[in-house]
A = this chain, B = another copy of it.
Amino acid sequence: MISSSARRGRPRDARSDAAIADAVAALLAESGYAAMSIGAVATRAGVGKDTIYRRWSGKAELVYETVFTTADTADLPDTGTLEGDLTAVVQSLVEEFSEPAAAAALPGLLADFAAVPELRAAIRSRFLAPAKERLVAVFDRAARRGETDSGVPADLALDTLAGAVFFHLGIMGEQPDPDLAARIAAMIVKGIEVR
């Protein structure tokens, strides 16, 4: 007896989730975040609007959970040097934001998240916190190797690193220059040096 009260009523159809995710990705890439309406997603997915609203509170949540699913769970790289590790971390960010759907969604998504306190809290705990944890782990390894001291300002590094990627790709909409990650990482490594 694992679940006490069992699950009552008809269970949600997993095929709906898949169809919705596909429709979201397609519409984002085709017409962008602002022009993507919930109604259009429903029609494209062959699904009723309720089926979407039953799962997500609105467009922001729908797009965030549908598009940004990868990377968060990918395991920490261990390249042997701080610069290598940071490059890998930044590179995964770059790749995530370079996918067509993600690139199309980012600015509008950030605007919607910023406008609603609950969503702003959600992004903090679901995106920022894990990212910072990973960064801290990378810096800890570097400290153990003797590459840096232990008093590294991870917050500032995260702001700078994530901010640079967001600004370059998400806001300015630049192409993802292949050595962008390496250049940003190199700057941070030097920048955070603790004597």
Q: Cβ of A173 and Cβ of B34 under 8 Å apart?
A: no
Shortest Cβ distance from A165 into chain B, in angstroms? 7
In the assembled complex, which residues on chain B have CB atoms less than 8 Å from the CB atom of A110? 107, 110-111, 171
A143 within 8 A of B: no
Q: Cβ of A128 and Cβ of B34 under 8 Å apart?
A: no
A97 within 8 A of B: no
In the assembled complex, which residues on chain B have CB atoms less than 8 Å from the CB atom of A164? 156, 159-160, 163-164
Shortest Cβ distance from A120 into chain B, in angstroms? 6
Q: Cβ of A183 and Cβ of B156 under 8 Å apart?
A: yes
In the assembled complex, which residues on chain B have CB atoms less than 8 Å from the CB atom of A33? 111, 115
> Dominant SS at the A interface?
helix
Residue in chain B with minimal CB distance to A32: B115
A191 within 8 A of B: yes
In the assembled complex, which residues on chain B have CB atoms less than 8 Å from the CB atom of A32? 115
Contact of A166 among B34, B163, B191 (CB under 8 A): B163
A108 within 8 A of B: yes
Residue in chain B with minimal CB distance to A192: B187
Shortest Cβ distance from A189 into chain B, in angstroms? 8
In the assembled complex, which residues on chain B have CB atoms less than 8 Å from the CB atom of A183? 153, 156
Q: Cβ of A168 and Cβ of B172 under 8 Å apart?
A: no
In the assembled complex, which residues on chain B have CB atoms less than 8 Å from the CB atom of A159? 164, 167-168, 184
Shortest Cβ distance from A22 into chain B, in angstroms? 22
A162 within 8 A of B: yes
A76 within 8 A of B: no
Interface residues of chain A, those whose CB is within 8 Å of chain B, are: 32-35, 106-108, 110-115, 120, 123-124, 128, 153, 156, 159-160, 162-168, 170-173, 183-184, 186-193
